[in-house]
Amino acid sequence: MNRMRTWLLAIVAVLVLIVVLQNTQSVETKILFVTLSMPRAVLLLVTLLIGFVLGLVAASWRGRERDTKTDS
């Protein structure tokens, strides 16, 4: 099972890399009151990293909630 998870993660990483490398055009992005110009690949990577971090935070909160429920 662990080997299958590693292969799946590798496949997803390669697919993300392909999508990012195909999107190198510059794009303007508005964040609150600031307009930034950056390659679309950078925007995709930043969005991916933000989603990953939010997923880790949500998973850790959920794990803490489970631990406090079992302790009661």
Q: What is the pLDDT of residues 28-71, one digit of tens each?
A: 999 899 999 999 988 888 898 999 999 999 988 877 776 666 66
| Owner of token pair 């697919």 | 15
1: helix, coil or strand?
A: coil
Parse the chain into domains and list their residue ranges: 2-71
pTM here is 0.62
Question: Mind spelling out the 3-state secondary structure of 3-56?
Answer: HHHHHHHHHHHHHHHHHHHCCCCEEEEEECCEEEEEEHHHHHHHHHHHHHHHHH
| Distance separating alpha carbons of residues 19 and 22, to the nearest angstrom | 5
